[in-house]
Amino acid sequence: MDKVYEGKAKIVYRTEDPDKYILYFKDTATAFDATKKAQIVGKGELNNTISSLIFDMLEKKGIKTHFIRKLSQREMLVWRAKRFDVEVVVRNITAGSLCKRLGIEEGRLLHKPLVEFFYKNDTLHDPLLCYEHILLLELLKEEQVSVLKKTALEVNEILKDFFKERGLLFVDFKLEFGELPDGKIAIVDEISPDTCRLWDAKTGEKLDKDRFRFDLGDLIEGYKKVLERIQTL
């Protein structure tokens, strides 16, 4: 197949339809600016399955995504999108870079969800962006910033409830957005335990990529638990 782009966790391929691409989920895991790297057999399949289920659920609730359908264990058919160089992070509970940056402890429940923007730029190590930075760099127009923030908060409410019903705490997550061939803004990339923090509501067990980041236990075991919970109900 004709490769459009290869990232750390996925490969994008062209299809016969110029408006549709195939996402191929690899088994590669990376963390800390890709300084930590490993092959974890089965991760690609799990992320494709989990992401497909979540995108399908969001689409049914009226959230526009690039998802068309799951093609195979490792492949997802998506709409071609012009991706924005901005990552949107929403947080419900303190963790990760927020704790490091502000010197606060992990696990504090936030009174209201916190939205942050990061610059998707490897050379600069994906720095935090304030509103004016986004406009200065012309990464997004003012109206687009509003659309992304509003959509990210909507998705947060949907997923927070979805995971809560399944005994999981939705700590934080990252979304990427792009413009589809029809000009509409949509969520692109993936929504999986690679891009979300999910904790068991009863035991506090971490079931996401932090298992790999901090050697907390078998990553596949955690992701499988997430999938099992998602598949029920």
36-55 positions binding ligand UDP, by CB under 6 A: none
161-180 positions binding ligand UDP, by CB under 6 A: 172-174
Q: How far is CA 223 from the centre of its chain?
A: 14
In this complex, which beta carbon is closest to ligand UDP, that of residue 21 or of residue 117?
117
Residue from 78, 196, 219, 226 touching ligand UDP (CB under 6 A): that is 196
Query: Closest distance between ligand UDP and the C-beta of residue 101, in Å?
Result: 8
In this complex, which beta carbon is closest to ligand UDP, that of residue 20 or of residue 166?
166
Q: Say how many Å lie between the first and final Cα of the chain, rounded.
A: 37
Q: If residue 114 lies in a helix (H) or strand (E), which one and from where to where?
A: strand 109-119
Query: Closest distance between ligand UDP and the C-beta of residue 118, in Å?
Result: 7
Size of the site for ligand UDP (CB under 6 A): 13
Query: Closest distance between ligand UDP and the C-beta of residue 110, in Å?
Result: 13
Helix axes 142-164, 43-60, angle to 10 degrees: 110
3-state SS, 163-218, equals HHCCCEEEEEEEEEEEECCCCCEEEECCCCCCCEEEEECCCCCECCCHHHHCCCCC
Chain residues that interact with ligand UDP, rule: CB under 6 A: 89, 95-98, 126, 172-174, 195-197, 209
